[in-house]
Structure 1
Amino acid sequence: MESVLVRPMREDDLASVERASAVTFFEAERSTRRVSDPEARPRSAVASQQWIDRMRYYLGVDPGGCWVAVAEESGASEVVGFAVSQNRGPLWILATYGVLPSHQARGIGKRLMDAALRHADGRPGIFSSSVHAGATRRYRLAGFSLHPEMRMVGTVDRSTLPAVHGLQDGRADDFEWMDRLDRDLRLAGHGPDHGYMLDTLRLVVSRDTAKPGYVYIDDRGRASLLAAAHPETARKLLWEALASSQGDTLVNCITTPNEWAIDVGLAARLDIGQEGYIAVRGMPVPAPYLASGHFL
């Protein structure tokens, strides 16, 4: 008979956890796909390696928040669930969480979430949630408020791009004021996460001391994380990201307090849609702010 053990994640689990994650999120995307959405696609080899590298980073920074569920039967072991969370000062974030479809509705997700929340030790928390019914039920029972997210998709009409001034490429010596801004917006700085993101993403900043802000932009010109002290700065930073986009783009994790992002997306001729939730506990929804799905 199969037994399932929930235990701390180890580095030698990473490849198995990635495979479980790829299957779990592919099936979730396919099952919740709307007619207007693109077809769900399996995770590419490059994306799989990036996922593993990111989980290895989390294990190195805060291993106590990283858990796996392992099914054992007839001497064989299989990773069937995972929860990766991190404490950043007074804030807890949930980076990723899931259970293989074949093992859902057995209480495994609750056991994983309980382990991750013990690591939170009562901290306020924030994460980006899918619309999966079982997962959202678990989040609400854990005391999180679920705030619907919107997204903007499409190809930027380049004739709409305004001239943007006052922005520069960011550097590691910007991290100190960026963390102060983070604390104002979401209770805690990103700390070591800034260094990780700077290695993999382009950083653009506004060093205006009255209205500072920053945005990380990926290699396709998509805003991966944006924080600002004022909506005016947030709009400039998002326009900068849109100006560097290539083909179809995405502005994600837009919550109601961040309608400035909707206005920018509509002006760029992007289409608006609804997707998932920002879940928060013990804190307001950050604004002006576009969360990262992984680093929040």
Structure 2
Amino acid sequence: MNDVLIRPLHHDDVPVVERLSAEGFFELDLRTHQRSWPDPQLRPADRAASWIRRTRHLIDTDPGGCWAATRGEEIVGFATSFNREKMWILSSYVVRPGLQGQGIGVQLLAAALHHGRGCLRGMFAASDDPKALRRYRAAGFELHSQMVLHGQLDRSVIPVVEKVREGSIGDRDLMDSIDRQTRGAAHGPDHEFLLSDLRLIVTERSSGSGYAYVDDHGSPLLLAATTRRTAVDLMWEALASSPADALLDVGHVTSANHWALDVGLAARLSIHHRGYLMVRDMLPPSPYLHHGSLL
């Protein structure tokens, strides 16, 4: 462990740590994936490009939260974290497979946590890795099981949803206000990155407001609303946009968001466990489906 240096993560490092991340999570997926599901795949090129842009975005906004562990010239681990309005978020955290248990992860997490030392609360999504979960619990985080809704949508049950429109960066103030009501902190500059990658849908009604970022498969990757009824409508609108015969994978559903489970079951999707939402000094957000990396 003494030959490992913890240093700031730089833009030039990002392609290297992207492959380290892809390989690390691929190895974990091979150990933990559902046997009845398709075999895990190494992160494809389009998602790798998005990962690189997101990580460089975090280096720009929070250079003090992004760290690399090096042994000689080799990067053997990294952590990216950021602060948003007194909330600390861990975005990604990987130690090279085969090098876990040598104290590298402990040092990286300590450096990332130091960046959030003035924050009032913390949140991040974690895998099922038992050693990592032990480390997070020791750092004072609560574990809340995450579920994923998986399968093909039964299009015959899609309801009519009204007053949901396409969103734009002009909705940032509205979305930041909804963020503060649901998770206690705005996404702020992260909305620009999310808009570059995903479709945005928004609703503003007297009964409630909300928004969702939706991928090409019709899965909401981030959804926030002021009421459960609004959240339900946004989720149905997202699912309805899925291509015919698409295999949906709606993740990051916590027990605080049973409304999402009800939508998934009505849509004939199945429920599975996948990872944990880690929170400190806060409750799991609701009505809310968090983004895997930007929460």
Are the aligned partners of 1:67 and 1:115 in contact in 2 as well (CA < 8 Å)? yes
Contact residue 68 and residue 79 of structure 2 kept, 8 A: yes
Equivalent residues in 2 for 1:169-248, closer than 5 Å: 169-246=166-243, 247-248=246-247
Please tell me the residue identity of whatever aligns with 2:229: E
Q: Deviations over 1:188-236 (max 9, x none)?
A: 1000111111122111011114400000011221101000010100000
Contact 2:149 2:261 in 1 (8 A): yes
Is residue 167 from structure 1 mapped to residue 146 from structure 2 by the alignment? no
The amino acid that maps onto 1:205 is: V
Which of 149, 153, 156 aligns to 2:153? It is: 156
Structure 2 residue matching 1:207: 3-state secondary structure: strand
Aligned residues of 1:85 and 1:95 also touching (Cα < 8 A): yes
Rounded to whole Å, the distance in 2 between the matches of 1:50 and 1:154 is 25
One-letter amino acid matched to 1:218? D
TM-score using structure 2 length? 0.96
Partner in structure 2 of residue 96 of structure 1: 92
Alignment correspondent of 1:57: 57
Does residue 133 in structure 1 map to residue 122 in structure 2? no
Offset of residue 122 of structure 1: 4.2
Task: Give 1:280's aligned residue.
Answer: 279
The alignment partner of 1:6 has SS state of strand
Between stretches 79-88 and 47-56, larger displacement belongs to 47-56
Q: Kindly provide the amino acid, as one letter, of the partner of residue 107 in structure 2.
A: R
Report the equivalent of 1:293: 292
- Name the SS of the counterpart of 2:208 in structure 1: coil
User: SS state of the match for residue 19, structure 1?
Assistant: helix
**CA deviation string 1:161-182 (max 9, x = no partner):** 1111111111222111211111
Unpaired runs of 5+ residues, structure 2, are: none
Q: Which runs of 4+ in 1 moved over 6 A?
A: none
CA contact under 8 A between 2:27 and 2:97: conserved in structure 1?
yes
Correspondence for 1:31? 31
Counterpart amino acid of residue 111 in structure 2: A
Distance in 2, Cα, partners of 1:152 & 1:94: 24
| Residue of structure 2 in register with 1:20 after alignment | 20
Deviation at 1:2, TM superposition (A): 8.4
Task: Write the deviation string for residues 119-167 of structure 1: whole angstroms up to 9, x where unpaired.
Answer: 0014211111001011111110000000001110001011011111111
Question: Counterpart in 2 of 1:271?
Answer: 270
Contact 2:149 2:272 in 1 (8 A): yes
Q: CA RMSD in A?
A: 1.3
1:3, distance to aligned residue in structure 2 (A): 2.0
Contact 2:90 2:123 (C-alpha < 8 Å) held by counterparts: yes
Alpha carbons 2:86, 2:118 under 8 Å: kept: no
SS in 2 for 1:182: helix
Alpha carbons 1:2, 1:71 under 8 Å: kept: no
Residues 242-257 of structure 1: matches in 2 within 5 Å?
A: 242-246=239-243, 247-257=246-256
Gaps of 5+ in 1: none
2-side partners of 1:173 and 1:34: how far apart? Answer: 41
Matched pairs, number: 292
Give the Cα–Cα distance (whole angstroms) in 1 for the partners of residues 197 and 250 of structure 2. Answer: 19
Partners of 2:193 and 2:34 in 1: CA distance = 34
Return the alpha-carbon distance in structure 2 between the equivalents of residues 3 and 18 of structure 1.
23
Distance in 2 separating the partners of 1:198 and 1:210: 26
Task: Show the counterpart of 1:8.
Answer: 8
- Matched AA of 2:171: D
Query: Sequence identity, in percent?
Result: 47
